[in-house]
A and B are shown apart, each in its own frame.
Chain A
Amino acid sequence: MAISLDKMNQPQDVVYEQFEDLGQQQETYVLGMWAFLVTEVMFFGIMFLAYTIYRWKYQPYFYALHQELDWKIGGLNTFILLMSSFSVALAVHFHQRKMKMPVLLCLGFTNLCALAFLVIKLLFEYIPKWNKGHYPGPGFSWDSTYIPANIAQLWYSLYFGTTGLHALHVVIGIILFSVLMFLIAKDHPIISDYLPTEMLGLYWHFVDLVWIFLYPLYYLMPK
């Protein structure tokens, strides 16, 4: 494939009126993004806390329940997310060098991965579970004799709550990446600087990292 190395149209860097210079603006943006990621850690932290407490309380049941999940599908999704994170890192790299097409290709690949992640999650995990009635709520159906239905429901609440919150972040990521790609394609002055890509990249690495913790906690439980 021919990767054109056409430089981005480079109008003047946009420095907003509250900043002194581009350097200060960039540092401030990155710091703000990190502060936001701290709040994200706390968001997910609460779900991890609830998981920890109930797993400690119901370990044998949780072990039995985790066998309902297929580690191979989870593993495939882990791989896909790692690839997407790699391509975001590449996108930042290319954007710093103002190479337009490679940035667009990398971001496009990231979005493709993110979509694949969601499709796999829906087709092979959420929908089969839904069809079996394994979703928490009044319609919950459960026929195992070993695992009590209420604990199964608790487990599925945690599973759907945490992975759902994560999937929501993936959806937001796809939307943001699409907007970013549109702006880059249009040579919008806001992307003359690589910071927007860098910040979205940070966000995406975080989303990836959450999954890196979710995967072993839900799919790879020791006995």
Chain B
Amino acid sequence: MSGIPPTEHVETEEKNYLQEGHTIASWLLTKDHKRIAVLYLISVSFFFFIGSIAAMLIRLELTSPRGTLITSETYNKAFTAHGVVMIFFFLIVAIPAVFGNFLIPLMIGARDLAFPRLNLLSWYFYMAGGMMFLVAMMTGGVDTGWTFYTPMSSIYSNGQVTLTLVAAFITGFSSIFTGINFIATIHKMRAPGMTWWRLPLYVWSHYATSVIIILGTPVIAITLLLVVFERVAKIGIFSPELGGDPVLFQHMFWFYSHPAVYIMVLPGMGVISELMGCFSRNKVFGYQFVAMSSMGIAALGFVVWGHHMFVSSQSMYQGIVFSFLSFLVAIPSAIKVFNWSLTMYKGSVWLASPMIYALGFIGLFTVGGLTGLYLASAGTDVHVTGTYFVVAHFHYVMVGGTLLAFLGALHFWWPKMFGRMYPEGVAKWNAMLVFVGFNLTFLPQFVVGYLGMPRRYHYYYFAPEFQVYHVMSTLGASVLAVSLLVPGAYLTWSLKNGPKAPANPWGAKGLEWEAAASPPIKHNFAGIPVVMGDVYDYDAEAEELAYRGLPPREESK
């Protein structure tokens, strides 16, 4: 895609967005989407750190079959904290709020998102929710699991359930604000010439995500609010004592929370599409199919929630229908995986660190997706329900998928965001270390889960032979922890000491690379760009010949 500003491009000495103000107020009251993205980057990293500490607690506890390190109750609080923080405060927010915020206006050629104040407000809601949850954790914690099943959450649990539910409720609004903002922006603020079929796939996937957010999040918000009422005022519609149905809570909860996994993974898929195109120097294979598969996932995602409830007194016929519908989601997911793989075919592949993360994503997401079919099939699911098989499955999608995409995006767009390069050699080795650590953590969990290790147990003295898998898993988690601290270190280092990044260090296509400086100026572009060409118009053959030092072929102009 070639973005040509209407006026002749003049190198101006205009300040970039980081230099627009240095006071704390200039950050906390900013309406610039790029600064809000940086605020989000700092806060999601903080919550990721908190969630990881809880994860390490779980892993350390499970090294011994007798559960000697912490009590059952503390263990329950640890995995609840891990789930709540990682899902509500990291995975759902991470890619849309950091990179979506930063990149959508840049990619479509706009000066900012449609509603900048709403954007800032969403960050404050997120922080308010996050802080409330931290208070809840410090004043007693929650032991219901992140799913808050009734009547455990509404009647029996003793922890800070109310505060946690309110925290999740408030954070939901931050999500809704972001979703509304993205939809309005993508519909109405595209630069001249930026047609729907010229949108980068990253924008398409965020569009699909936003649709899920605005349709799903209100449902969970009201559902959690009803649990709060039930707990506080003893009125309730899920309470069996009143003739209510606790399973209704599960339906309402999963009606949001299953689509929510697509909120978590779709933005990651958008990142991978960008990375595959850029580092294969090829037009993303089947562009329109990949774009529409995002929309397909968003639509199908809403009709499969029942596969979380195969053993929750759901009727057999419902189970069959939900099982069948769940299989259908495999189709758009597979379209993406095949198209990414084919993008590399006859491309000029460059194994830079973001590309290594992208390749890792494809492999791990495939494993996560295929094991998902075991769980979508109502018959086999009964055998592995509530075991570590499920845990391993969703970590392959959420960590192997979303987290790797997050890291890939962080490395790919870091020069654009902060105008500095990081040490590529370390980054490459570290990307491979993440892959190894991840597999060492979660591959044994498939095995031990299939053998019968239940999730959410803090001991397994009934089966000491499981210890070897748990020790492998904890070892892997330690490797993973180190490999996640390393980028934190070198990226922070690069902020001051890294070499200055050019506007387009990867030779990538797209308005954010071709028409904006690194880091971009406050209003992104010197003038609103006019889009003339197609999206991803890389020339793989010419790139490959140039790389090998050969002259360009006669036919290829």
Binding site for B on A (CB under 8 A): 16-20, 24, 27-29, 31-32, 35-36, 38-40, 42-43, 45-47, 49-50, 53-54, 57-58, 135-138, 148, 150-151, 153-154, 156-158, 160-161, 165
Can you list 22 A-B contacts with CB-CB less than 8 angstroms, sorted by A residue number? A18-B114, A18-B116, A31-B183, A35-B184, A35-B214, A36-B214, A39-B176, A39-B214, A39-B215, A39-B218, A42-B214, A42-B218, A43-B222, A46-B222, A50-B248, A53-B248, A136-B242, A150-B241, A151-B242, A154-B242, A157-B235, A161-B226
With A18-B113, A28-B189, A137-B233 as given contacts, are A53 and B184 in contact (CB-CB < 8 Å)? no
Residues of A within 8 A of B179 (CB): 35
* B226, closest chain A residue (CB): A161
Residues of B within 8 A of A57 (CB): 243, 245
Q: Does A28 lie within 8 Å of B236, measured CB to CB?
A: no
Q: Does B241 lie within 8 Å of A32, measured CB to CB?
A: no
Would you give the shortest CB distance from B111 to chain A, in whole angstroms? 5
B252's contact among A18, A49, A58, A148, by CB below 8 Å, is which?
A49
5 residue pairs, one from A and one from B, having the closest CB atoms: A136-B235, A18-B112, A42-B218, A32-B184, A28-B188
Q: Does B528 lie within 8 Å of A38, measured CB to CB?
A: no
Q: Does A18 lie within 8 Å of B215, measured CB to CB?
A: no
Would you give the shortest CB distance from B190 to chain A, in whole angstroms? 10
With A31-B183, A32-B114, A153-B242 as given contacts, are A20 and B237 in contact (CB-CB < 8 Å)? no
Q: Does B187 lie within 8 Å of A31, measured CB to CB?
A: yes
> Measured between alpha carbons, how far is A105 from B114 in the docked complex, in Å?
32
Q: Does B115 lie within 8 Å of A43, measured CB to CB?
A: no
Contact residues of B between 190 and 226, Cβ < 8 Å to A: 214-219, 221-223, 226
Q: Does A154 lie within 8 Å of B244, measured CB to CB?
A: yes
A45's contact among B114, B214, B219, B523, by CB below 8 Å, is which?
B219
A28's contact among B114, B226, B237, B523, by CB below 8 Å, is which?
B114
Residues of B within 8 A of A136 (CB): 233-236, 242
Does B229 make an interface contact (CB < 8 A)?
yes
* B184, closest chain A residue (CB): A32
Does B110 make an interface contact (CB < 8 A)?
yes
A148's contact among B116, B217, B243, B528, by CB below 8 Å, is which?
B243
Residues of B within 8 A of A50 (CB): 226, 237, 248
With A151-B243, A161-B226 as given contacts, are A17 and B188 in contact (CB-CB < 8 Å)? no
A18's contact among B111, B233, B237, by CB below 8 Å, is which?
B111
Would you give the shortest CB distance from B288 to chain A, in whole angstroms? 24
Residues of A within 8 A of B233 (CB): 136-137
Q: Does A17 lie within 8 Å of B214, measured CB to CB?
A: no
Q: Does A46 lie within 8 Å of B235, measured CB to CB?
A: no
A42's contact among B185, B189, B215, B234, by CB below 8 Å, is which?
B215
Does B367 make an interface contact (CB < 8 A)?
no
* A158, closest chain B residue (CB): B237
> Measured between alpha carbons, how far is A195 from B152 in the docked complex, in Å?
47
* A148, closest chain B residue (CB): B243
Residues of A within 8 A of B187 (CB): 28, 31
Does B180 make an interface contact (CB < 8 A)?
yes
Residues of A within 8 A of B245 (CB): 53, 57
**Using an 8 Å CB-CB cutoff, how does the interface string of B232-265 with A read, 1 for contact, 0 for none?**
0111110001111100100010000000000000
Residues of B within 8 A of A24 (CB): 188-189
Would you give the shortest CB distance from B503 to chain A, in whole angstroms? 22
Q: Does B184 lie within 8 Å of A137, measured CB to CB?
A: no
> Measured between alpha carbons, how far is A42 from B179 in the docked complex, in Å?
14
Q: Does B236 lie within 8 Å of A157, measured CB to CB?
A: yes
Would you give the shortest CB distance from B36 to chain A, in whole angstroms? 13
* B221, closest chain A residue (CB): A43
Q: Does A54 lie within 8 Å of B244, measured CB to CB?
A: yes
Would you give the shortest CB distance from B125 to chain A, in whole angstroms? 14
Would you give the shortest CB distance from A18 to chain B, in whole angstroms? 4
Q: Does B223 lie within 8 Å of A46, measured CB to CB?
A: yes
* B523, closest chain A residue (CB): A17
* B118, closest chain A residue (CB): A32
Q: Does A160 lie within 8 Å of B111, measured CB to CB?
A: no
With A31-B183, A35-B180, A42-B218 as given contacts, are A58 and B235 in contact (CB-CB < 8 Å)? no
> Measured between alpha carbons, how far is A62 from B189 in the docked complex, in Å?
49
> Measured between alpha carbons, how far is A151 from B113 in the docked complex, in Å?
49
* A51, closest chain B residue (CB): B237
Would you give the shortest CB distance from B520 to chain A, in whole angstroms? 14
Residues of A within 8 A of B111 (CB): 17-18
Residues of B within 8 A of A35 (CB): 179-180, 183-184, 214
Q: Does B221 lie within 8 Å of A54, measured CB to CB?
A: no
Contact residues of B between 132 and 186, Cβ < 8 Å to A: 176, 179-181, 183-185
> Measured between alpha carbons, how far is A158 from B242 in the docked complex, in Å?
12
Would you give the shortest CB distance from A7 to chain B, in whole angstroms? 29
* B115, closest chain A residue (CB): A32
B243's contact among A28, A32, A150, A165, by CB below 8 Å, is which?
A150
Residues of B within 8 A of A54 (CB): 237, 243-244
> Measured between alpha carbons, how far is A202 from B373 in the docked complex, in Å?
44
Would you give the shortest CB distance from A134 to chain B, in whole angstroms? 12
* B192, closest chain A residue (CB): A20
Residues of A within 8 A of B110 (CB): 18
Q: Does B252 lie within 8 Å of A46, measured CB to CB?
A: yes
> Measured between alpha carbons, how far is A35 from B528 in the docked complex, in Å?
26
Would you give the shortest CB distance from B120 to chain A, in whole angstroms? 13
Residues of B within 8 A of A38 (CB): 214-215
Contact residues of B between 500 and 529, Cβ < 8 Å to A: 523, 528
Q: Does A137 lie within 8 Å of B112, measured CB to CB?
A: no
* B217, closest chain A residue (CB): A39
Residues of A within 8 A of B244 (CB): 54, 154
* B233, closest chain A residue (CB): A137
* A28, closest chain B residue (CB): B188
* B183, closest chain A residue (CB): A35
With A31-B187, A54-B237, A137-B235 as given contacts, are A40 and B218 in contact (CB-CB < 8 Å)? yes
